[in-house]
Amino acid sequence: MADGYSYGMWVVVVLNVGIFLFFTLSFIKPKGHAEWRNMGIVLAFLVALFSEMYGFPLTIYLLTGWLGEAYPVLQPFSHKFGHLWVVVFGGSTMAWVVVMGFSLILLLSGYGLLSKGWRQIHGAQGKMVTEGVYAFVRHPQYTGLFLVIIAFLVQWPTLLTVLMAPILLFAYTRLAQSEEKVMYNRFGEEYKEYAQCLPRFFPAIGQWFRFITASSASPEINPMK
């Protein structure tokens, strides 16, 4: 976290985009045109994020005029002070620790849901899944992806990623609606009853801990309760 020029690391940008895209594709396997289109938006989000994190701090650079007067600590080309939250909180190292810690929890929770959801769907072999993480929401993998996106927004907010996040949410909401039509046609009343009892992406506040910590091998939970 030196105070000198800490950007221009384009190899690191490519490596990070590749690593996170690999993990995402490992758990969300696109099949049709809509799924690949949405994954393209995810890729664009990752490129925008890591380009500003390690390539060039465009957001901080564009805001330098305003931030420079409000926050004299600003050193836009150092990695620590190129971080928007650290700048807003006066260059506090504690702010950096809190932001990184919270975003890490969100990131691990998100990829945990992606992994659990994939294992359950893969293990069901075409059968309807209503247990484990699917006992809390209808699309836990997309919930996991949203948590990953939110984690990155908390960790390193940029103008481009803040603009792209609602687009991602809208795109995957449309995809989920399309998938639900397929499920209705395939499982009929069984899926209709299941869908009526559970939210699409986000469980009730009191259920989040159980949702995040649910095992992919959990016994079936009656969603009617």
pLDDT digits (tens, 9 = 90+) for 37-93: 889 989 999 998 888 887 777 776 676 666 555 554 455 555 555 667 766 776 677
* Averaged confidence pLDDT in the chain: 83
Distance CA 125, CA 197 (A): 23
Is the pLDDT score of 191 beyond 60? yes
pLDDT digits (tens, 9 = 90+) for 86-112: 667 766 778 778 888 999 999 999 999
DSSP 185-204: HHHTHHHHHHHHHS-SS---
The residues that bridge with 220 in the sheet, in sequence order, are 131
Q: Is 98 exposed, middle or buried (0-12, 13-18, 19+ CB in 10 A)?
A: middle
pLDDT digits (tens, 9 = 90+) for 112-134: 999 999 999 888 888 899 999 99
Task: Tell me the domains of the chain and their CATH numbers.
Answer: 10-213 (1.20.120.1630)
pLDDT confidence of residue 174: 94
